[in-house]
Chain A
Amino acid sequence: MSSRRSRSRQSSGSRITDDQIIDLVSKLQQLIPELRGRRSDKVSASKVLQETCNYIRNLHRQVDGLSDRLSQLLASTDTDSDQAAIIRSLLME
């Protein structure tokens, strides 16, 4: 049922033009550190999209690892309130 609905929707507006793809590819390429150095005509659209997905997943994984580490650290620093003051003053440089 859902595939039939998506088919009818595709005919109306989501035909993606080549210009849009080129635009998307060039813009995403600037964001991803891996692909920034390469020339835009050598990188295909699917590669840019793939690298974008990988990069976002990578960032998610980093956040997960950092939050695990933070939770461990927080469990051991719960006591002092002046430590929190130290942290805040360090951050507010």
Chain B
Amino acid sequence: MSQLKLSSWVSSDQPFHNPNHLFIQRHSKLFQSDISHPSKLSNFRTINCSLRDIRQRIASVTNTQKITEAMKLVAAAKVRRAQEAVVNSRPFSESLIDVLYSINQQALLEDVDTPLTNVRPVKKVALVVITGERGLCGGFNKFVLRKAEARIAELKSLGLDYTVISVGKKGNSYFVKRPSVSVDRFIEGEGFPTAKDSQVIADEVFSLFVSEEVDKVELLYTKFVSLIKSNPVIHTLLPLSAKGEIHDENGNSVDASEDEFFRLTSKEGKLAVERDKSVGTSDGFLPNMEFEQDPAQILDALMPLYMNNQILKALQESLASELAARMNAMSNATDNAIDLKKSLSTVYNRERQSKITNDILEIVAGAEALLYS
């Protein structure tokens, strides 16, 4: 009975391109609802016809919006903590840079030969890929992994062998699904990176390099440029040059004494980012500073510290980039949810009003019919 009513409705009112029969079969559940009168088909093709269903959808979108907004606030708070962690690691970096600089000056550019500065002809390269632990962060992990694939292809075309050390659950699951890429080790971290976490990676890299299994180690992480922008970059970690300089793949040196730090401030209530360049304050060593051991041994002890420091900074920057990406993704999701809710509400109200109108019409028509009978 309701079927007949619907077809008469549809043919008189709207041009409806789908075959009515199929439409009703597919949505039979909707028509069996307790709404006695089939509602007018809406103009939005994607939105279904039942009042109750629209109401449920609005409720679920509202829930989703609350969740994404909460995730955005959490990510924003964590970015600030990540920035504090970077600031806490500054005393160490600054002292280390100071010491390296002074020692090299005093050692008067002696040709020091420590295992970690050993420059060999490169046959095999180790690539440390740093990704995130969780998803819902926009394109963050995808960019890093894409860059990793590009680098691997580049190495292959140069005829070099490679191995990958994957840090982070997202990278791990990606590489597990690709048995063609040889992965040396999977490492997972949790929360904010500590010296212990970077020690694990440093040990792995150290033993690979010193045992001559690989000849070059590169670090692939995401550099934090601003709250809305971050770049995946590749840094050569080993071999270290005696000045503690690290060269990126184009051979440009990224000098340690001009390190960049990022800082979050709130300008007029909006989060802004400042980068300041710290000039290595070398108040220098005292003139009669003696070395307990010979410079080679001292540098031997310093290089692992420097390597550890670099790895930790890479981990911290990656984490900050991931949190910023998540903040943006969740903010977009919240905005989308608000828009969707608005359009759903409009449709709902139209449906509701048309239902009331139909009820009234029916009642009036019935009354009129009685009157004239």
A binds B: no
